[in-house]
Structure 1
Amino acid sequence: MNPRPELTKNQSLVLRALDAADGPLSAYTILDRLREEGFRAPLQVYRALEKLQDFGLVHRLESINAFVACCQPHEHGHEMIAFAICEKCGKVDEFCDAAVQERLGTWVRTHRFKPAKTTIEIRGDCAACAETA
């Protein structure tokens, strides 16, 4: 495992905000939560998020334009990452699946495609929300 990178103050604050959140946060929600820490502009948040993503500490959920802290930093490298996103309560589960990764890998090799990143997002109801429906 790679050692944790040295984070700037802003990066540490953004990561801490995501770690403390009950679900994914938009950049503007992060900005609102960090105003008392001196954050004044969205660019401050976006720069910190970009570096945290580069370090593998944060993921962007593209379908909902929000961010979550990585549940296993540096464990997955650039492999396939999947997220189950509950549309009712906002809970996000991060997971890797070897069978899905192998199937996608076979397709990639067969078609000589060079992926830059593979992220799968499944949206629906988590088990708890499905029970109450």
Structure 2
Amino acid sequence: MSTKSAKRRPAAEQDKMLLEALREAPGPVSAYDIIEMLRPEAVLAPQTVYRSLERLIDEGRAHRLESLNAYVSCSHPEHHEATAFAICQNCRQVIEFDDAGVTAQLKSWARKNGFDISQMTLELRGTCAACRTANVG
């Protein structure tokens, strides 16, 4: 007999399950990856996972990496005006960081050009130091 639960869970319980899955994931994951990761514990429909991910993003506990169409848990306990990620194209390591100077420059550009910023997410794609070092040898 399966131990999976097909019963409807409260949103807070689902969110907690998904956040734990994101934290335990070795890198960015898709909604379908999360479904597979949680399959031993629960039966989840894609739309349920997407709704839960949206709540986690709105609460600042998770981020969507647009260029990868994948999700990661937030690694900063305090949230900043802009979220920035360095994504290794080789190992898929994601480093979340912020830089007040870059944020200020982008906000200044927006003001000068009459652009109203509603969200600011920066994604840098390249090769991390570990992969670069491994490829040099």
What TM-score, normalized to structure 1?
0.89
Secondary structure of 2:85's counterpart equals: strand
Aligned residue number for residue 36 of structure 1: 40
Matched, 1:21 2:25: yes
Aligned residue number for residue 49 of structure 1: 53
Secondary structure of 1:94's counterpart equals: strand
Secondary structure of 1:101's counterpart equals: helix
Aligned residue number for residue 82 of structure 1: 84
Q: State the distance in 1 between where 2:36 and 2:20 align.
A: 14
Write the deviation string for residues 85-114 of structure 1: whole angstroms up to 9, x where unpaired: 011111100011111111101111111211
* Equivalent residues, number: 125
Q: State the distance in 1 between where 2:100 and 2:69 align.
A: 26
Q: Unpaired runs of 5+ in structure 1?
A: 1-6
Q: State the distance in 2 between where 1:47 and 1:37 align.
A: 19
Q: Cα distance, 1:120 vs. partner? A: 0.6
The structure that has the greater radius of gyration is 2
Q: Which amino acid aligns with 2:69?
A: N
Q: Unpaired runs of 5+ in structure 2?
A: 1-10
Aligned residue number for residue 10 of structure 1: 14
Aligned residue number for residue 107 of structure 1: 109
Q: Which amino acid aligns with 1:123?
A: R
Secondary structure of 1:8's counterpart equals: helix
Aligned residue number for residue 60 of structure 1: 64
Q: Which amino acid aligns with 2:79?
A: H
Q: Which amino acid aligns with 1:118?
A: M
Secondary structure of 1:59's counterpart equals: strand
Q: Cα distance, 1:39 vs. partner? A: 2.6
Aligned residue number for residue 93 of structure 2: 91
Q: Which amino acid aligns with 1:49?
A: L
What TM-score, normalized to structure 2?
0.87
Q: Cα distance, 1:18 vs. partner? A: 0.5
Q: Which amino acid aligns with 2:124?
A: I
Q: Percent identity?
A: 48
Q: Which amino acid aligns with 2:94?
A: V
RMSD of equivalent CA atoms: 1.2
